[in-house]
Structures are given as C-alpha cells and as structure tokens.
Structure 1
Amino acid sequence: MDQRIAIVTGGSRGIGRAVAERLAADGFGVAIAYASNEAEAKTVVEGIEARGGSAIAVRADVADESAVTALFEATEARFGGVDVVVNAAGIMILGPLAGFDLADFDRTVRTNLRGTYVVDQLAAQRVRDGGAILNFSTTVTRTSLPNYSAYAATKGAVEALGLILAKELAGRDITVNTVAPGPTATDLFLDGKDEALIERIKGQNPMHRLGTPEDIAEVVSFLAGPGRWINGQVVFANGGTA
C-alpha cells in the first residue's frame, strides 16, 4: 500500500527505458507506455520483474486522450493509483525550416506537444497529492542549432506548459518540472549522424562525452523522489553544454 507508482511514456527505449528501470530500482511500481514497440516494452517489464520489481506495459498513443485515459485506468487497476508521471515519449525530425515538410511538422507537434499536453491534463486530474509530473525539453532551446526548428519549437512550448501547470496545482504538493537533456547517446539522437560528427559534438562538451540515458534517469529519480523543493523549473542535464 505504501509503494509509489509511476507512469513512464516512451518507456520501451532510450531515455524512457532508463527512467523506467531506474524508478523500478528506486522501489516504484512502473507502468511503461509504448507506441508500437511491444516486444521491447515487454523486455523492459521482464527485466524489472527479474530484479524483483513490479511493472506493466500498456500501449498508448500519447496524443489520443482516450488511449491516455485507458493508460491511467490500467495503471490504477494494477497498482491502485498514480504518484509520478514522466513524459519521455517524443520524436525528432530534423531539417531546415525553409524546406521542412509540414506533415512532419504536424507529426512533431502532435507527439511532442499535444502528447505532453494530453498526458499532463490527465496527470493533473489523477496524480495523487504529494506526487510529481516530469516533462522533457531539450538543451537545443538554448543552443539554437540549425535544423532543429520544429523539434525545439515543440520543446519550448513544453517548457511553458510545465511552468504554468506547477502554479495551477498549488496546494496539492505536486511538483512539475521539465528535464532538458543535452546530446545523449540514444537511437533517436544518433540516427543519421556519422562518427566524425559525434566526435565533434563530444568535443564541444566540457565532459568530452555524450550523455547516457542513465545520466538523465538519475536526474528524473531525484525530481521524482527527494527533490521536493524543486518545482516549476527547467533542469538542464547536459554536462555543461552551453
């Protein structure tokens, strides 16, 4: 009855998977929401259970309010409630603004912005008092790299959403924060980048490396657990990337 429960969207791969595994190691029961990677989501669940944790996998389109409602209902039916929601689902399509395919822009907005909005809306209604809501942005909102206009635009909007929701939930002891990773070694980030480019990116960081999903999961673990006095913030987890 005392176990805290987390929903992690995008939990089958990359940062979302690392977050789900870290929260399970912290003692959370975890619901892993996935869009299409059923086999990978089940692998994450099996790994958590093999280490003595509790997890379920639930297919959900984060931009579909009916699917997200079903996600919350499935989590509550299995675990009894929801304390933490981590919005790690996202897509990244790169290209210059002048020639960017507007269909790709709409896809990016649907998943990254509408998806976060829908999940946050349900989280605001159903997360138990004393919980936490965590969204994801990107360090590109500061570095303003070419070809990231669509992705960064959605993430800038996500930052604004979190700042406002933190104030709207006043009095319920629910924190709302946004984690903004820098370059992180996930399939999403590495796709389409050759080794020379990756080495240049590493060299631009004071730590001379890419971040790892586990680096980001550590930040989420703190904000979902003991970091109760951090609220309404954008936390840049990037090893010093300026």
Structure 2
Amino acid sequence: MWQKQPIDLWSFFPDDEFTVVAMDQRNATLESPAPLSATSPATWTTYNEDQLAVVDAAVGNGVPFSIAGSCIGPSYALRLMRDVPSRVKRALLLQPIGVAAYTNEPCAPWTGMNIDATTHWFGDWAKEMEASNRASRTELDALYTSLFSSAVEGRREDDPFVFSVLRDDVRSLTQPMLVAAGIDVFHPSQTARDVASLAPNATLVEGWRGNNDEIQRMQERIKTFFEIEKNS
C-alpha cells in the first residue's frame, strides 16, 4: 500500500540505519483475512493490540518505536500515543482522515461537513467483503459502528474528529509529531490543522504534494524528523 502513497517510506529509509516494520492490518484488503463478529466487533483497542504485537515480534517486547501513518494510519497512531505513551517516541501523520468542513482542498470540494465520506469508503470495502463471502452485512455494520460511529467512546455526536481519540486526548500528547495535511474530502486539510494545533509538539505541513519538488522537500523533512530521534 505504501507504494501507492505520495511518499513511499520504504523507498528511502536505509536498512542499515532503520528497522522499518509495516502492518498487514487485519481485513485491510481481501488478502488480509480475519474473523469479524456481529456481537463483539473489533475496536480501536483491537488494532492497537495487533500493532503492538507486530512491533514486539519484530524488534523486541517493550522497545520504544516511532510511527509513520497515512490516511487511517494517523488515527491508529494517535490512539497508540494516547494508550501506550511510553512506547511511542514520535509520529509522522500523513493526510489524516477525520470529520471537518471544506476549506481550500483542491480535490473533491464539498459543502458543509464531510460526514458522509467515511461511510462511502468503508462502504466500498464492505461491498467487496460481502461479495466475496468474507463477512455478512450484520458483521460489517457492527464493525463500522465500533470504529466510526460518533456515539461511541465519549465522542460528541456532532464532532467525531479523527474517530479514535478525542480532542482533549490530542491536547495531552507530548510526543513530537509531523502532520502533513490532506487535500480531499476523505483527508480534509482542516483535520490536520486541528491535530497540529491541539498537540503541543506538532508541526503542520501544507502544500507538500503539488509537484515533484514539493514531494522531494517533504521527503527530506521526514528524514530530518526521524534522524533527530535516531541521533538523540
């Protein structure tokens, strides 16, 4: 999946200096099967446990690590920073998903809040799962409610934010963050701005993917961001 992103982190971290571990997240594709339950659906905590188990297996139990996530990845990262702060050293958050109003995104402008965006992209994946007999509609609906319904885990009904954590949670996160804004209805720029303004040690980057020169500058900025941790 990283090869389809504007920046492929696998392409420029040298193997002799960094151990890069990528998640094959449960149910992320049809090739990543895992059981779904209508009565006990997976939660953000379930995914946290998956990710920690993979890191522990790859680099050792309890070893601190840094995170790079894109799209839904920042929501996972923020949840990990909240729940296991001693494990997470810093985080790169690329084009985070979230609920926000349209501002100046150049792709797929919308009016009002993008509250239907998550239903749309989750729905496309759910149709694939149902068509391939990987899951029933009841199981898929339960998973959607568990992860994205604004009514769960104390989220205000009118402000689901990034789904995995609350705004007050982000205010409490002290880890350094580099937040790169998205440019479309699924990854609204305002979500990145909100995260960067709430987190005390976050830096916001906008206008980073318009052309090859901008992407190259962003790559160098990412290298510098993680080199700081490596050399400290």
User: What interval of TM-score do these two structures reach, taking the shorter chain for normalisation?
Assistant: 0.3 to 0.5
More strand by percentage: 1
TM-score, L = length of structure 2: 0.44
TM-score, L = length of structure 1: 0.43
